[in-house]
Structure 1
C-alpha cells in the first residue's frame, strides 16, 4: 500500500519528483527546493555554469556569494579547510538546522559560488525534501542556493510564491509545503578565529553561545569585510513601500495617509488603527517565532493587493526579535525601532 504524506503527495510520487530534480541538477539545471527557512534556488555547487544560471535568474550581482547546502556535517572538510574546533562543535550540535557557517573554502569551490572570496558559507538544511534531494545527488554533490526570488525581494516560503515570481525561469519547482521557520538562516563567521554574527536568523545566538560556552560578537567594520547572503542594507523588500514605526507614530502616519486617500495596510501588534475604507489592519502574532513564520507570506499577500503603503508596528527590541527586526530594517524605506521615541527620530532612511 502506498502511504500518503500530510501534503497529499504519496511517498512514491515524492521519490519520483526528487529523482527527477536530481537528474536536472546533474545535467546543469536549476531547481527550486524547500528548506525549513525559505525556498532555495539550487544548482550543482561544483558546476560554475549551472551556478551562473542562478545569478541570471535572480538578477543577482556576481560578487554576492551563495550558501552551499550539504547533506550532513561529515562533509564539512570536503568544502572547507582550516576549520576551528568551535565551528565543528556547532555543526555537530546543531546541523541540520537554520545555521550557516562561514569558513575558508577548499580550492575546488568555484569563484561563482563564493563571489571570488576565499570563504564559503555552508549549512545542512532541516527539511526532509531538501535532505532527500541531497542524498539522491550523492556525497560528492552539494547545492549552491540563495532564496528562490528576484534579487532584493521577499524570500518565498511556499512553492506557489516561487512559481508566481520565477515561473518558467527555473527547470523545476520541488514542492515541499510551507517553510516551517520562514526567515533565513543565522550566519556565523569563523574566519579570523573569533565567531562573529554576520546575520541573525532562524536559530538564536543565545542557543549557539550556550553550546560554545562563550560570546558570539558583532563584527566591526574591519571584521565585516566578508560578504555573505542577505547582508546588504536594502533587502527582503516588498514592492509596496514599507515603513516600520512605533505604535504612536504609526497611528499618526496612518491618519495622514488615509486623509490623502492612500490605501494603507497595517501590520499591528497592539490595538487596531481606526477603521477606514482606505485602511486594512492585519494583526500579527505576539510571539517572535510565529511572527517570523508569517512575515514574508503576509508581505507577499499585501503586494498582490496593491496597497500604496504598508505600515508595520515596530516589534520589541530584544534578542528574541533580533532576526525579525533585521529583516524589517532591510525591507523598509523608513525604519524607526521601538526604543526610539517619535520626537527623537521619526524616520530613519535605509540607504
Structure 2
C-alpha cells in the first residue's frame, strides 16, 4: 500500500484535502490524522471491515477497545441509547476536548470497535482537521493512536510515517499535537463514575463536575481481573525500544539513585538516557511544567531510540493535575520501577 502524506494547515484546513481523506474513510479505508492529544488512525467506526484494518495496521489485540470520534453531540444518540445526565454535564464543560466518555453501546456499533464489550467510548476532539474529517466523512470515526501497538504514541506526522508508512492510505500532517498524551477516559456506564485512564482533563476537574469518582485500581499500578473498558489498560503501552526505569521519591534522593544507576550501567557498556533531571549522560532531556512534560513525553521516547539509548532513567513527577496522566504513561512504559 502506498501512503500519501498531505501537509494540512491546522488553523484553516484545505477543503480539497479534507475531501480526499473523507473519500478514503467512506470507501472503507484508513486515514491518520491529528487531534489535540495525539495522532489517530481512523476508519468508519460502523464498518467492521474498515475497523479491522486499524487492528491489522497497528498489530493491536482484538480485545483492546477503540475510541469513537464524533463532531457533534447530536451523533451521540446513534452510538448509545443510555445517556445519563452526568454525561451532558461533562460534555458542556469538556467537549470538544480531551475527554472520552464510556456509555452502554447501541446495536449499530460493531463489537470489533468496542473490543467485544457492551460499552462504547466516545469523544469530540478539539482539532479543526479532525472535526472537518469527521463531518465530511459523514460517519463516526474509530481512531486509536496512529502507531504500532505498544510503541510511543505519535505526536507528529513523522512518528506516524515511521510506524505506519505503507499500512494506511493517507496521513494528514497537521503539525505537532498540543497536549501530547491521550484523552482522559471516564466510565459512566456504572452507578458511580469511574476514571479508567487519566489524561488531558484532570481528575480534579472531573471531581468539580461529578463529585465522587471511583478510580480504577490499575491507574495506581494494581493488578485486577475486572473488565477493561478503555484503551491503555490491559497491555503494556507507550514503550520505546530502550528499557525505562522509573524512579520515584524525594527529588534529592531520586537524583542520587539515578547517578548510582547511571554509573552502574555505564560500566556495563550501555548507553544511558536521563529523563526529568539535568544529570549528564549519553543523552539528557530535562523537564519543565507538567504541560511541557506531557507535550514532549512520547517525542522524548522516540528521540532516545533515535540515539540508540539502551536504558532510560526517568524521574517521576507529582501525581496531581496532569501529573496523574504523565505518571500513568511512564508506569505503563516502564519495565522496572523503583521507589526511594
- TM-score, length basis structure 2: 0.90
1:56-205, aligned counterparts within 5 Å?
A: 56-138=56-138, 141-205=139-203
The equivalent position to 1:281 in structure 2, one of 273, 279, 284, is 284
SS in 2 for 1:193: coil
Cα deviation, residue 21, structure 1: 0.3
Q: Which runs of 5+ in 1 are unaligned?
A: 1-6, 342-351
Quick check: 1:54 aligned with 2:54? yes
The equivalent position to 1:209 in structure 2, one of 207, 210, 224, is 207
1:291-306, aligned counterparts within 5 Å?
A: 291-306=293-308
1:178-257, aligned counterparts within 5 Å?
A: 178-212=176-210, 214-219=211-216, 224-245=226-247, 246-257=254-265
- Whole-angstrom distance in 2 between the partners of 1:215 and 1:223: 23
RMSD (CA atoms): 1.9
Q: Which runs of 5+ in 2 are unaligned?
A: 1-6, 218-222, 248-253
- 1:30-64 alpha-carbon deviations (Å, 9 max, x no partner): 00010000000000011100000000000111111
The equivalent residue for 1:345 is none
Q: Is the CA contact (8 Å cut-off) linking 2:41 and 2:143 kept in structure 1?
A: yes
The equivalent residue for 1:344 is none
Cα deviation, residue 224, structure 1: 4.2
Cα deviation, residue 153, structure 1: 0.9
Cα deviation, residue 14, structure 1: 2.0
- Whole-angstrom distance in 2 between the partners of 1:93 and 1:10: 23
The equivalent residue for 1:325 is 327
Count of paired positions: 323
SS in 2 for 1:134: helix
- Whole-angstrom distance in 2 between the partners of 1:69 and 1:50: 15
SS in 1 for 2:313: strand
SS in 2 for 1:136: helix
Q: Is the CA contact (8 Å cut-off) linking 1:72 and 1:95 kept in structure 2?
A: no
Cα deviation, residue 8, structure 1: 7.8
- Whole-angstrom distance in 1 between the partners of 2:85 and 2:147: 35
Q: 1:164 to 1:226 in 2, by over 3 A?
A: closer
SS in 1 for 2:165: helix
Q: 1:11 to 1:209 in 2, by over 3 A?
A: closer
- Whole-angstrom distance in 1 between the partners of 2:306 and 2:24: 31
Larger Rg: 1
Quick check: 1:260 aligned with 2:268? yes
- TM-score, length basis structure 1: 0.88
